[in-house]
Structure 1
Amino acid sequence: MAEEAAEAPPENGSGCDSGTGGLERGVAPIKPQYLTTKEQFHEFLEAKGQEKPCRETELDIRGKLYLAPLTTCGNLPFRRICKRFGADVTCGEMAVCTNLLQGQMSEWALLKRHQCEDVFGVQLEGAFPDTMTKCAELLNRTVEVDFVDINVGCPIDLVYKKGGGCALMNRLAKFQQIVRGMNQVLDVPLTVKIRTGVQERVNLAHRLLPELRDWGVALVTLHGRSREQRYTKLADWQYIEQCVKAASPMPLFGNGDILSFEDANRAMQTGVAGVMIARGALLKPWLFTEIKEQRHWDISSSERLDILRDFTSYGLEHWGSDTQGVEKTRRFLLQWLSFLCRYVPVGLLERLPQRINERPPYYLGRDYLETLMASQKADDWIRISEMLLGPVPPNFTFLPKHKANAYK
Structure 2
Amino acid sequence: MSAFEPDDSRYVGRQVRVIRARRGISQQVLADRAGLSRGAIAKYENGERPVDSRRTLLALASALGVTITDLTGHEQEKLDPAAAGFHMAVPEVEIALWTAGNTTDAAPPRPMDELSTAAQRAAELRIACDYAALGPMLAPMLTDCYRHTQDATGADHERAWDVLSTVAHTTAAALKARGYGALSWTAAQEAENAARNIGGTAALAATAFARSQVLLSRPGCLPAALDHAEGTADKIAANVHTVGEIETYGMLHLQASLVVAALGGDPEPHLDEAAEQAARLADARPGSSILRNPTFGPANVALWRISAAMERREPGQVLALAPKLSPDDLPAEGRRAQYFVEIGRAHAMQRNYRDSLYALLRAEHTAPQHVRNMVHVRELVAHMMRTARRDLTTGDLGRLAQRVGVVPS
Q: State the TM-score, normalizing by the size of structure 2.
A: 0.36
Structure number with the higher helix fraction is: 2
Q: State the TM-score, normalizing by the size of structure 1.
A: 0.36
Structure number with the higher strand fraction is: 1
